[in-house]
Amino acid sequence: MSNATFPGRRGRIALLVAAVVALLCLAAGLLWYATARADGHGGHDGKSAARSGKGVEDGRSSDGATGSPQEKEKDAQLPLKGRTVLVDPGHNPHNRDHPARISRLVDIGTGKKECDTTGTATNSGYAEAEFTLDLARRVRTALEERGATVKFTHNGNTPYGPCVDERAESGNRAGADAAISLHADGAPEGSRGFHVILPAPVHRGAADTRKIAAPSRRLGTAVRDTFREATGEPPADYLGDGEGLDTRGDLGGLNLSTVPKVFLECGNMRDAQDAERLTSARWRARAADGVAEGIADFLTEKSSARSGGQ
């Protein structure tokens, strides 16, 4: 009889041991799950946080509000992202074909002036309008590489103009953060150098530059500094303050602007030394980078640091 009951007793013991082991495993699992939940690392907790929109400990949220390191690096390479710049290529290559239209008078606030002119040219016939259009396109590329949205007053594909009042309105309508009109001068032979024209504080008729005069001076100073550095062109020796800045209240493109704006006269087309530079594509590439860098300095408030706070 003892031989018949012994195997049954061993079986019950084995079942009891298995049950104890199972209970211990279950208890360990429950303990691990509870600990993981408390630490924030268990199960699908990370996914549920993403679904609920709750941020994690480092401050980043599921919608990327803080931004990844890659996004921050990309933004650093595009300092003008979200900024709009108006670039005005002075004159128009086709103005010469419409003398009556460009000679009509328009209101510039302080009086009336011609809609536009043909501009000047080098002694060899390289037109200012061709120069400014080429430079403007290069400036646009340089600004877009920095993240800016660039608007033109024209791209050489209109019959004439636009008139000076319309050029100012283009920047106003675009809500530009900065505007620049590109030119080259036609002074007598032997007069050399570039200069930046700033708007005088004007309040007359349709003109009111009181709010933009100060920021325009900062913009002009920034462009002056970076243009000189990039091109090696000296400040004009025949007008302005001798440092490359000139203030005027008789230009419709400045008088009617409601956004910070300057004119840049890149050099004297009638001077042999300046003309050699202005007709060089390599020099225009450097000039474009200098213009873009000055605008970027102004818009990112680096201009005062570059000029020593002056």
Dihedral in degrees, nearest 10, Cα atoms 299, 301, 303, 305: -160
293 catalytic? Reply is no
Backbone φ/ψ region at 181: left (φ over 0), alpha (ψ -120 to 50), beta: beta
Contact (CB, 8 A) for 293 and 235: no
- Residue 161: CB atoms within 10 Å: 20
Q: Which of 189, 265, 276, 293 is catalytic?
A: 265
Q: What is the rounded distance in angstroms from the CA atom of residue 61 to the CA atom of residue 287?
A: 43
Q: What is the rounded distance in angstroms from the CA atom of residue 109 to the CA atom of residue 20?
A: 97
- Residue by residue, DSSP assigns 159-201 as SS---HHHHHHHHHHHT-SEEEEEEEE-PPTT---BEEEEE--
Q: What is the rounded distance in angstroms from the CA atom of residue 176 to the CA atom of residue 173?
A: 8
How far is the CA of 151 from the CAs of 89, 115, 133, 156, 292, in angstroms?
A: 11, 21, 13, 14, 14
Of 171, 153, 157, 132, which is closest to residue 264 (Cα–Cα)?
A: 132
- Residue by residue, DSSP assigns 8-75 as HHHHHHHHHHHHHHHHHHHHHHHHHHHHHHHHT-STTHHHHHHHHT---TTS--TT-SS--HHHHHHH
Q: Which residues pair with 131 in a beta bridge?
A: none
Contact (CB, 8 A) for 200 and 282: no
Residues with a known catalytic role: 265
